[in-house]
Amino acid sequence: MKLWLCVAIVGVTLVSSTGLAAAQGDSGPTQLSISTPPDAPLSFDTDTLEATAGDDVVVTYTNDSSIPHNWHLFAGADATAPSIAKTPLMAGPGDVETVEFTVPDPGTYFYVCDIHPNMSGQMVVSAPE
């Protein structure tokens, strides 16, 4: 019984130490922000986002207009490509949604508001250094 308890304590200590080291070395996902400003309700505030392939990313989309919008990223040059990530439709103003995903291979990817196809841009993905 004493041997089992000693092994259990050592095991818990090793697992805890390993988990702590991994958590301290992980800087977390890359944070990206995009919004729809109140003075330009049918546009994103940027037409280009940049990211590194393989990174975990959190995109925060803020709809500051009074018109419903969302943000939708596709795995190609237009909305016919498979979906990578998207926020739900937000009524605005001041609605905020986040979406987390792993950045795909290097290249250029299309994003758009699903109900306003003239609101679009690109995510430029570079190779890791």
- What residue ranges define each of the domains in the chain, with the CATH number in brackets? 28-126 (2.60.40.420)
Q: How far apart are CA 112 and CA 71, in angstroms?
A: 6
Residue 27 has a pLDDT of 83
pTM value is 0.78
Residue 116 has a pLDDT of 97
CA-CA-CA-CA torsion sign (60, 100, 105, 116) = negative
Six-digit token pair at 46?
Answer: 């940027």
Six-digit token pair at 28?
Answer: 């977390």
pLDDT string in tens for the chain (129-residue length): 444 433 333 333 333 333 333 333 468 999 999 999 999 999 999 999 999 999 999 999 999 999 999 999 999 999 999 999 999 999 889 999 999 999 999 999 999 999 999 999 999 999 998
